[in-house]
Amino acid sequence: MIRWLTAGESHGPALIATIEGLPAGATAGTLNYVDISKTHADNEMPLIINLAQGPDLPTQTPTPKPTITKKPTDGCAKQIKH
């Protein structure tokens, strides 16, 4: 899965691709530029991508429900007489 994200708001706009589901290692190929308007020459460049293992995200655990606490009782309340 490839997810495109915008980034670099503080240092200028950029586009970042997050690739998920690929094994770690090196992948070699070519990057091809083809100008459909034919105003620029087509270009082909070698491309090597090193994929590193990302961090394992922790599994989510449900938030425990709060326990009901009893109101404290005043043991001396019935001992005071007017």
Residue 82 falls within a domain, yes or no? no
Q: What is the mean pLDDT of residues 2-16?
A: 71
Predicted TM-score of the model (pTM)? 0.32
What domain range is 35 assigned to?
23-53
Query: Structural domain tally of the chain?
Result: 1
Could you give the CA distance from residue 45 to residue 35 in angstroms, rounded to a whole number? 15
Residue 48 falls within a domain, yes or no? yes
Residue 16 falls within a domain, yes or no? no
Residue 34 falls within a domain, yes or no? yes
With a cut of 80, say whether residue 81 has pLDDT above it.
Answer: no
Residue 6 falls within a domain, yes or no? no
With a cut of 80, say whether residue 10 has pLDDT above it.
Answer: no
Q: Which residue has the higher pLDDT, 10 or 36?
A: 36
Residue 72 falls within a domain, yes or no? no
Q: State the distance between the two ends of the chain, measured CA to CA, in whole angstroms.
A: 78
- Long-range residue pairs from 62-71, CB within 8 A, at least 24 positions apart, any chain: none
Could you give the CA distance from residue 49 to residue 26 in angstroms, rounded to a whole number? 6
The predicted-structure confidence for 52-64, as pLDDT tens digits, reads as follows 776 766 777 888 8
